[in-house]
Amino acid sequence: MNSLSPHEHLKPDAAAWFAALRDRICAAFEAIESKTGSQARFARTAWDRPGGGGGEMSVLRGQIFEKAGVNISVVEGEFTAEFASRIPGTESGAKFWAAGISLVAHPRSPKLPAVHMNTRMIVTAKGWFGGGGDLTPLQPGTEAAKEDAEFFHAAYKAACDRHDPAYYEKFKAWCDEYFYLPHRGEPRGAGGIFYDYLDSGSAEADFAFTRDVGEAFLAAYPPIALRRMNESYTPEERKAQLIRRGRYVEFNLLYDRGTTFGLKTGGNTEAILMSMPPEVKWP
């Protein structure tokens, strides 16, 4: 049996899991919206990738979430020389298969933090998992932002600890390093966890961990949204929120690997740029 077989056999289960997680997250966000009387629902748009596979983009525009997007995709094809050089052990023309889920939520209120989460499985000459979740308080430095960050991190630490006691500190540090804006000399937000190229030797164990990362998001973020959604805010706080959103745009366009992967492998441009906030300012 070759080394790819564990990940090959997981392809259907992984794709099904990402789709099921998408459905649960969309339902959770719509339930939060409904508490305001909003009837906002996710609008879903399917897309096909010319080189193989495709995905579905789901976007919500509501009272609580000015814009929230949850994308899933299952794509396959061949790496270009430019992109293959970025992945250890991968050659130009190597075939790949990738499935995943990616979420970004930009709340209307500056009292409610923005959030990002993604998990994925990729198979090339070998297979691996990656993903994570991170929180971006739009009023950094406040007691509320600290409280929300601690709650968010606790959920991810619990998920990590169920699998390996070393995971949380390792993946937290990786997140802090990854979601950093060198040109600003500052982190994008309050962090979370980030991992990539996870291949522990047990594809099943890595998939189980990746599922728990998705579960951790559901345990972490909806309670924060419910706690903050009715807090009042001033026009000045809204302006500061829009400026903070600029950091999100800068990171995603300059440094984000997921954005690069999608654009370099023929992904759907609108789905890739779904993470952009609906309104933003620069000072």
Residue pLDDT tens, the chain, 283 long = 344 568 999 999 999 999 999 999 999 999 999 999 999 999 999 999 888 999 999 999 999 999 999 999 999 988 766 665 566 666 666 788 999 999 999 999 999 999 999 999 999 888 999 999 999 999 999 999 999 999 999 999 999 999 999 999 999 999 999 999 999 999 999 999 999 999 999 999 999 999 999 999 999 999 999 999 999 999 999 999 999 999 999 999 999 887 877 777 777 888 888 889 999 999 8
Tell me if 116 is assigned to some domain.
Answer: yes
Containing H/E element for 182?
Answer: none
Q: Are 253 and 39 in contact (CB under 8 A)?
A: no
Supply the range of the domain harboring residue 114: 5-36+48-275
Q: Is the pTM of this model over 0.85?
A: yes
Is residue 280 helix, strand or coil? Answer: coil
Determine how many CB atoms are found less than 10 A away from the CB of residue 12. 11
Count of Cβ atoms closer than 10 Å to residue 185 Cβ: 7
Q: Is 203 part of any domain? A: yes
Burial class (CB in 10 A: 0-12, 13-18, 19+), 166: exposed
Domain membership of residue 185 (yes or no) is yes
- Residue 126: inside a domain: yes
The residues, ordered by sequence, that sit 6+ positions from 114 with a Cβ below 8 Å of its Cβ are 104, 105, 106, 107, 135, 136, 138, 189, 245, 248, 277
Catalytic residue chosen out of the listed positions 7, 106, 116, 153:
116
Q: CB neighbours of 171 closer than 8 A, spacing ≥ 6?
A: 132, 156, 160, 193, 194, 195
Q: Number of structural domains, the chain? A: 1
Residue 41 lies in a domain: no
Q: Would 282 be classed as within a structural domain?
A: no
Domain presence at residue 280 = no
How confident is the model over 141-186, as pLDDT tens digits? 999 999 999 999 999 999 999 999 999 999 999 999 999 999 999 9
Do the domain assignments include residue 188? yes
Q: For residue 212, what is the domain's CATH number?
A: 3.40.1500.10
Task: Give the DSSP H or E segment for 100.
Answer: strand 95-107
Q: How far apart are CA 238 and CA 247, in angstroms?
A: 15
Handedness of CA 6, 132, 282, 58 (dihedral sign): positive
163 is an active site residue: no
